[in-house]
């Protein structure tokens, strides 16, 4: 049996890894994919149905699932479009981060709170559509940011991450941007005015 650990991988990586493992079997055998969310399970079982594979799915623990494929003789594949990921889970909410800390008071506490807030966004069932960062918030999308991995995880889930170019330039961070894209005040205003909700931590 070929075992693939796709825990922590964003769509469509679990499906991509599963297809690669199935191809490596050269015709027959079993593949087990470990994932950490139900959406990945749904995407993998959908792929199995498309390919006519025998499959089973099992919840092993909290945020740990096993999906197994039994591959017999090679089944001719139907022409497929690019793998469809889970339904869009983003809302029309825009999150605006204008500082490298959350709230007023102790700076160290403010930074800890903001890091926890950004991590908490990654755990939501409904994600924001866009995260806008300006002024001191520009530091968060740059090299050395303690929340870079969480922002990259959100971007991988389809969340648009935009940092103010004027702010990056002002703080000398233009070359250090490590996630998302650069934007301007016109777009920031447009995104905020067009949002169903604007959340400012």
Active-site annotation, residues: 11
Alpha-carbon distance of 105 to 126, in angstroms, equals 30
Alpha-carbon distance of 81 to 15, in angstroms, equals 13
């Amino acid at each position: 049996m070929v075992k693939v650990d796709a825990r922590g991988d964003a769509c469509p990586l679990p499906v991509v890894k599963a297809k690669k493992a199935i191809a490596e079997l050269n015709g027959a055998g079993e593949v087990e994919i470990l994932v950490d969310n139900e959406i990945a399970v749904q995407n993998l079982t959908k792929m199995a149905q498309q390919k006519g594979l025998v499959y089973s799915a099992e919840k092993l623990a909290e945020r740990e699932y096993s999906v197994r494929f039994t591959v017999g003789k090679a089944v001719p594949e139907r022409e497929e479009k690019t793998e469809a990921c889970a339904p869009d889970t983003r809302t029309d909410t825009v999150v605006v981060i204008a500082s490298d800390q959350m709230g007023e008071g102790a700076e160290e506490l403010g930074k800890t709170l903001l890091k926890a807030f950004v991590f908490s966004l990654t755990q939501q069932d409904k994600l924001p559509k866009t995260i806008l960062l300006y002024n001191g918030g520009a530091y968060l999308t740059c090299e050395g940011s303690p929340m870079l991995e969480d922002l990259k995880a959100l971007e991988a889930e389809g969340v648009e991450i935009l940092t103010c170019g004027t702010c990056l330039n002002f703080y000398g961070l233009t070359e250090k941007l490590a996630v998302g894209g650069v934007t301007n005040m016109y777009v920031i205003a447009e995104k905020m005015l067009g949002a169903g909700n604007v959340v400012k931590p």
